[in-house]
Structure 1
Amino acid sequence: MTVIVWAPGDLIVASNEGVDVRLAGVELTSDAPVHHGAKPGERGVRIGLEANRNLETQHRDLAYLEAFEAWDAEQKLHGKGKAGSPPPMPGQVVLSAVKPVITDNHDTDYRCVGGQWAGTGTDWDGSWTFVPEPPAGVKHLTIEFTVNGDLTGKSCRVQLD
């Protein structure tokens, strides 16, 4: 179990392209994505992120729907595969640039092994998964956040039980 000891009061940890992004959760997990460098069964840390819905996200949703409908029409007109890839979901564009950096009181090297952003029903949600699981004796994790590699100045501390 994890307990957030300190964090921004509104949990906003980053802002990207006019969209505020908040911390949605920190969990220790056993399903780190193997295809991205984790070993089968390796446990890790998953950091959840969520966009703060606002007028900007509404505009992006509308632009995405219009682009998707145009792509779909092109695909129907010229056949599957001829229209190229569908447009990226707006949550993917915004959230994929926001990345956590994890440190602890044992100087563990946490490696990012996967991320997931946006999808049907989770349009503005995302997460990053890191390995290894915090080793025995680690009392807390400090999580800082970057946007396109630049620190946001926001962080949180999570106590481990």
Structure 2
Amino acid sequence: MKQVLIERGLWKNGLNADCQLCKDKVDDITRIDCCARRIISLQPDFLAQKSALEEAILHSTGHLCIFYPKFHCELNFIERYWGAAKRYARENCDYSWSSLQRVVPVALESVDTIMIRKFARKAWRYMDLYRNGITGKLAEYAAKKYKSHRCIPDYVLVELNKVE
């Protein structure tokens, strides 16, 4: 890291590799040169660098890798699919290893395409609400109540924005 910063003319004498704020992941946009890690992390080429997982997926298959925000499983319909499969497995398994090996593939097949599409539409409704500034319990209510095709009607968004 030091060598890269020296080559770029960004190294300062007495600069620490890490500072406590960076170790504690305290995010402060005004802090740009507190330590070597912070300086290098703000360089354009480092910001543009994809993760090893993204690189591997892109280079081996040509596919794109899109990460969902952490702690927002409502945006990922695969979570709902997995939940339905786990429910089936719980109801049809005696919790032995042989039973799990038999039930899990059947559980995954038990969720039909129509249900998966319903899960996807619900995720799209949440995305639409978040894009329009509706969050929290109000978003949960609206996603359950309004089941139009992938989005919440405009007149409903106007009313919901008045409530918040």
Same fold per superposition (TM over 0.5)? no
TM-score normalised by L of structure 1: 0.21
Q: Counting strand residues as a fraction of each chain, which structure ranks higher?
A: 1
Q: Counting helix residues as a fraction of each chain, which structure ranks higher?
A: 2
TM-score normalised by L of structure 2: 0.21
Structure with more relative contact order (C-alpha pairs < 8 Å, separation 6 or more): 1
> Which structure has the larger Rg over C-alpha atoms?
2
